Amino acid sequence: MALDKLVIATRASRLALWQAEHVKAELEQQYPHMQVELLSLSTRGDEILDRSLSKIGGKGLFIKELEHALLDGRAHIAVHSLKDVPYELPAEFELAAILPRGNPCDAFVSNHYDDLASMPAGSVVGTSSLRRESQIRARYPDLVVKPLRGNLDTRLGKLDAGEYDAIILAAAGLQRLGLEHRMRTELSADDSLPSAGQGALGIEISQAQHDLLQPLLAPLVCAQSTARAAAERSVSRVLGGSCQIPMAAFAEIIDEGQLLIRALVAEPDGSVVYRAQESGPLEQAQAMGERVAKDLIRQGADEILQRLGQAEHD
């Protein structure tokens, strides 16, 4: 059965709408006779702004309402920032496509300083991520790291109001919204190892719609981005990663057909950081991610994982 109309579920934030419009344009280019519409929804992750993500249930809060729309037939597909998609989806859903990846790096944004190294002791840095926080604390223990919630415009507004001396944001989000000029510095993977899937867009569908939608979405799939995501998300799967655990996983193509995967697990205060990496053929991406995760566990990361994981359930 061919579709003459396709509905995309999306969060209502400006960045999420840009991402959904991007997928809409890709689909319209592939299927010029198909009508493509957006269904904009508010999620709990967007609505609860007075607590950190790690305290309210994690990034999965950004996709639940969209999944409900897939199940009840209001939408055919949901577009997500891949870093917001849990490594294990409920059985009713699947990740049907990963698009060509945007900038995976973190960005340093400040009205007064050029980079983290130039900030004087006691300066306040805002971030919503324990991953970013632990790496900042490890390298710059004299800086003060404070939570920062809200959509991208809200976060920039808090910086401009003087609540923070600098904030760390995903570079891809700034670039997609034409806000590159706010970036003082793009943080290298050595300074701030990215989150699994950062900069990539994922399309989620219900399993019941697989036969109808998978062929439709196939032209949007990027094989290299999919392999990189497979390596990164397998790290998260083995480690049981969540917003309560400072961890990072970043894979990049280093040569034709060759992948480098780097990962870390840290104490929230940055006092201990375990790191591991491996390179190998692209087709072994998932297995490489699993081995890197197990290397971190052997080093001692399991103690951090168990303690913080237990705290998450207390």
Give me the active site residues, please. Answer: 84
At 186, is the secondary structure helix, strand, or coil?
strand
Residue type, 296: L
Q: Of 7, 21, 23, 2, which Cα lies nearest the Cα of 220?
A: 23
Through-space distance between the first and last CA atoms of the chain, rounded to whole angstroms: 48
How deeply is 215 buried, as exposed, middle or buried, from its count of CB atoms within 10 A (0-12, 13-18, 19+)? exposed
- Cβ atoms of residues 117 and 46 within 8 Å: no
State the pairing for strand pair 258-266/247-255: antiparallel
DSSP tag of 299 = I
Tokens of 301: 């990361």
Residue that is written with structure tokens 């800086």 in the block: 143
CA dihedral 26, 61, 241, 224 (to 10 degrees): 0
- Cβ atoms of residues 166 and 119 within 8 Å: yes
> Cα(35)–Cα(110) distance, rounded to whole angstroms?
42
